[in-house]
Structure formats: structure tokens, C-alpha cells
Structure 1
Amino acid sequence: MKHFYGAIGILGFVTVLGGISPAICTQPSPILIVQNSAEDLFNSALAKSEAGDIQGAIADYTEAIRLNPNYAKAYNKRGIIHGRNLKDYPATKADFDRAIEINPNYGDAYYNRARVREFLEDKDGAIADYHKAAELYQKDGNTNDYQDAIKHLEMLQE
């Protein structure tokens, strides 16, 4: 949501475009507050994660989730960071649980939760999640991820 403090900013902008000398507009511009959308924050978090700013990425994913509590992709990505970078497996699993609760057809969240369940030594839970991920990947025609899920499943069942 955007907030303009007074119409001066809009009029000042129009005035400048209307050809009046910019010297007339020497007063500070009114403050424009832009509240990022959940998608903007998600994209910012991706960039921060790739740049190694783990805490910044988590903060942005968390804010995206605050703005859109049903943002399954944000829960999934935040869960990946909690697990891969922070080794906080209970928080990781909680994020994947929520992503799956929001979208029960989210193959990546099942796959990621299966990986965490392996770390938590929940073999039966990991097997069930790999099965579900493989089923969803196959349904979506995602051959590479399907084969990867099956490979992990087979290793657990040995």
C-alpha cells in the first residue's frame, strides 16, 4: 500500500513535468512509503540468500509470510535456509509442515521435509514423504526430481 503525505508530491511531480523550473521545487519532497508486497519480499529474500545474507533472507521470508500467511513457497524457502545454513531442524520441519498444510500438492516441500526427517532420524516419516514427493513429481512430469526422490527412497529402504 502506498501512502502520500499531502498532494504536494503529486502536484510537484506534475509541475516539474509541466515545464516549470526545478528550482521552484527546492523544498524536500514528501515522504513516500512503499510497503513491499509479499512477492517483492520473497524475491528480495532469494537475492539475499544467494548473496550470503542469511539473516536478511530469513527476515524477508518472515515478513513475506506475515503479509501473506498462506505463502507456501516462502515457508519452503525459509525452511531450506533454517536447515542448510542454520541446522535448526525443528524450525526447518515446522516450515515444511506449514508449506504442506497450505499446499498439499507441493512436491518440493515433501521432498525437503523428507530430507529433514532423515536428519531427525524419522526414517518412516522420510520414506512416506519421499513417496509423496515422487508421486507428485511424476504427476507433474518432473522426471529429474522424481528420479531423485526414488533414489533417496531406495537408499532408505535398503
Structure 2
Amino acid sequence: MKHFYRAIGILGFVTVLGGISPAIPAESAPILIVQNPAEDLFNSALAKSEAGDIQGAIADYTEAIRLNPNYAKAYNKRGIIQGRHLKDYPAAKADFDRAIEINPNYGDAYYNRARVREFLEDKPGAIADYHKAAELYQKDGNTNDYQDAIKHLQMLQE
């Protein structure tokens, strides 16, 4: 029986549910495009944010998060908009908290949460987050962000 299947494979046939069909030559096989709706929405949100469509960006980030509840980057970006544009610091902090919960090594989320904690007048929390962000940036070799986090950390510690 093994030889039967091998012979069929050589002749360019494959078995399909017990039947035999011609095999599709590799050069004419369709290209499989894997769609990732959450990633598409994330990219759409980035474009909307850059174009100044803040509400559209938030809607797209929120939908991306609905599709992928563990999408740390979407939480982080939505948190930036919540804080920077809407001045909703508690909502921004909640998004950064969730991004960090999903990815405890996400330096940008610590940095952004530190900024929000400054606005919320949580100096000890901001110091802790800048310290953690600096540590992660240094570990990743991200010199510019490391230096920025250290600068903010030093200003808070004066």
C-alpha cells in the first residue's frame, strides 16, 4: 500500500477523502494571505491618529483590542491618545496597566504610565516606572529612550 501512495505522488495526484484528484503544480498554487483583522485595525488607528482623527483612532484601537484582548501595543497606543489628546489620565493609566500586565517587558508602556502618573501626582509610581522603563531600554540597547527615561527620573528625584 505504501508503494501505491508513493506512485500516485510521483504521478502528480493526491488523495482527497478517498478519491483521487490532480495535484496543483507548485508554481500555480495560490498565495495564502493570512489576514489579521486586529493588526489591520491597529494600522488603521495609527493612520487615523496621525491624520488627527482621534475618535476614529480610539474606535479602531478598541476594536483591535476586542478582537485580540492580549494586544499590548494597541492598549499602549490607545493609552497615549487617552492621555495626550483627551487628558483622561485614569483611562490612559488603565490601558498602560493592561499593556504591562500582558507584556511585563514593555518599556514604552512603563514610560508612558510614568508620564501619566506624573499628571496624576503619583511621584513614587512615576519614579518606579521611569526606572523600570530605563532598565528595559538599556537591556534592549535603546540608548535614546534610555537617556530620556533617565532624564525624567532625575528631574523627579531632585
Query: Quick one: distance in 2 between partners of 1:115 and 1:35?
Result: 35
Measure the CA separation in 2 of the matches of 1:13 and 1:41: 41
Deviation at 1:44, TM superposition (A): 0.1
Residues 82 and 91 in structure 1, CA contact (< 8 A), matched pair in contact too: yes
Deviation of 1:33 (Å): 16
Deviations 1:103-132 (CA, angstroms, capped at 9, x unpaired): 000000000000000000000000000000
* Matched ranges for 1:33-72 at <5 A: 37-72=37-72
**What is the CA–CA distance in structure 1 between the aligned matches of 2:57 and 2:144, rounded to whole Å?**
27
Which residues in structure 2 correspond to 1:68-87 (within 5 Å)? Answer: 68-87=68-87
Aligned-residue sequence identity (percent) comes to 92
TM-score (norm 2): 0.78
Q: Is the 8 A contact 2:83 2:92 kept in 1?
A: yes
For residues 147 and 85 of structure 1, the distance between their equivalents in structure 2, rounded to whole angstroms, comes to: 25
Runs of 4+ deviating beyond 3 Å = 1-36
Match of 1:24, SS? Answer: coil
Shift of 1:28: 29
Gaps of 5+ in 1: none
TM-fit CA distance, 1:141: 0.1
For residues 20 and 56 of structure 1, do their structure 2 counterparts lie closer, same or farther at Cα, with a shift above 3 Å needed?
farther
Deviation string 1:42-64 (CA, Å, 9 cap, x unpaired) is: 00000000000000000000000
Gaps of 5+ in 2: none
The count of corresponding residues between Structure 1 and Structure 2 is: 158
Contact 1:8–1:30 at 8 Å: present in 2 too?
Answer: no
**What is the root-mean-square deviation of aligned Cα atoms in Å?**
8.8
Given that 1:2 and 1:32 are in contact with CA atoms closer than 8 Å, whether structure 2 keeps it comes out as: no
Please state how far the C-alpha of 1:8 moved relative to its aligned partner: 33
Q: Distance in 2 between matches of 1:144 and 1:6?
A: 59
